[in-house]
Structure formats: structure tokens, C-alpha cells
Amino acid sequence: MLTGKTALVTGGSRGIGRAICLELAKQGANIAFVYAGNEDKANETSALLLQMGVNVKAYRCDVSDFSATEELVQAVNADFGSIDLLINNAGATRDKLIMRMSESDFDDIIAVDLKGAFNLIRHTSAGFLRKRSGRIVNITSDAGLMGNPGQANYAAAKAGLVGLTKTVAKELGGRGITCNAVAPGFIRTDMTAVLNEQILQNAEQMIPLKRIGEPDDIAGVVAFLCGEGAKYITGQVIQVDGGLRM
């Protein structure tokens, strides 16, 4: 159980992020979640979490902004007293073949998906080090492990998260802080909703478990990594993809 812990979850207003917030709250954690701009979705998530009897607050922030994320962490510490769990889930896509990808297409995705995680780790690490405890979970992707046509920017960012995860695990492990990554495969979210049904059906046939994953499938693994049972696990990348990339 995570009763009394405070979790900071980026990209927490919908999809996988919302599922993570709900699962951590189910286990008793108070939730500070970050959203980029969809206030309606943020309000929906807050309402769901408040029904679970935990403390909740939503924060609007551009995670790619170093100064803004520093202010965010300061605000969460002031509102909740401390941060115990950091889930770097915020992400974006801008898919194009590399011959058609603009500089901004590449830079903007790296800024959100990779630099955003660095920013949050950078600003929360001092608090973790003082307490000699903390759990960091970065949401990467199968694309970061295998590559994916049309996703040079996204795959590069998610691959970068793997290197960031392992480095942070080595740097902070001596103070009892763990850092792991979760790599989802095909999951039913807004990102996969744009794919036509034939693509999803073809994907199902390639997946040994013969189904597209649900956000809850990711949330359960994240919650495990935040719990007592994972205290001796760090620097790992756990693929949650139904066996697609085994």
C-alpha cells in the first residue's frame, strides 16, 4: 500500500496517465498530476480521484520548460509536504517519415518526451536524496527499444529515456532511490485511437496474448514498481506489450 505517499504524475489527465493516477490512489497515495492544456479532462480526473478519498491537485505545466517544472515541484512540495513517487508519463507524437520530418517536429517531441523527464527528475532528486528514499518510473515505449518507421523523433526520445533511467538508477541508488522504466506496446489511448481498425486487428494477430492492451495494464506495473515489493528493482525496463517484442 502507498498510504500517505504523494505521487507526482505528468500527463495525468487522461489515458495511461489517468489510469496510473487512479491505481496509485486506490493504493492510498495522494495525487499531484500535471496536464498540458485540456482542462476538461483534468477536471474529470480530479473528480474521479476525489471520490477515492485522497488528496488531489491538478497543475498545468509545460514539462519541457526547465524553469516552469522547477516552480511546479516547489508548488507540489508546498501543497503536499513532499514528493515520494515521480511518474514521468507526459508524452506527445508527431509522426512523419524522416525525409519529411522538420526540425521542429524532431525538437518538440524530444523536448516533451525526453527533456521533460529530465526536468522533473532534476528538480525532485534533491528531495529524494534528503529523505534517502524515492521511486521514479519513466514511461518509455516499445518504439524506443525497436524503432518504428515514421517515428524517428518519438523512438529517439523513448530510447533516450532508457539511457536516462539506467543512469539515474546508478547515480541515486546509493541513497535508496529506485528508477525504472515501463515500455508499453499497443495500448488503447488517444494515440492509438487515430489508427484504423484494420491496423489494430493486424496488431492483435501479432501479439501473443491476442489483444490490444488497456491503460490499466500499464498502471498495475507502475504501481508495483512504486510499492514495497519492488524495493530491490532498479534500472530495469519492463515491457508491457502482450509479448509483442519478446
Q: Give 205-235 pLDDT, tens digit per residue.
A: 889 999 989 999 999 999 999 999 999 999 9
- From CA 32, how far away is CA 49, in angstroms rounded? 10
DSSP annotation of 114: I
Q: Is the pLDDT of residue 245 over 90?
A: no
Q: Is the pLDDT of residue 194 over 90?
A: no
Give bridge partners of residue 95 from the DSSP assignment. Answer: none
The residue-averaged pLDDT of 157-175 equals 98
Residue 81 exposure: Cα atoms within 13 Å on the Cβ side: 7
Q: State residue 196's pLDDT score.
A: 67
Of the residues 35, 59, 154, 232, which is catalytic? 154
DSSP annotation of 194: T
Q: State residue 163's pLDDT score.
A: 98
Task: Indicate the length of the chain as a whole number.
Answer: 246
Instruction: Tell me the Cα Rg of the chain.
Output: 17
Q: State residue 193's pLDDT score.
A: 62
Active-site residue 154, yes or no?
A: yes
Q: Is the pLDDT of residue 200 over 80?
A: no
The residue-averaged pLDDT of 42-56 equals 97
Q: State residue 111's pLDDT score.
A: 98
Q: Is the pLDDT of residue 37 over 90?
A: no
Taking a C-beta distance cutoff of 8 angstroms, is the pair 73, 120 a contact?
A: yes
- From CA 200, how far away is CA 195, in angstroms rounded? 7
Q: State residue 227's pLDDT score.
A: 97
Q: State residue 22's pLDDT score.
A: 98
Other beta carbons within 10 angstroms of residue 40's beta carbon come to 9
- From CA 230, how far away is CA 111, in angstroms rounded? 30
> What is this structure's pTM?
0.95
Q: State residue 118's pLDDT score.
A: 98
Q: State residue 189's pLDDT score.
A: 80
Residue 156 exposure: Cα atoms within 13 Å on the Cβ side: 16
Q: State residue 45's pLDDT score.
A: 97
Q: What rounded mean pLDDT belongs to the chain?
A: 95
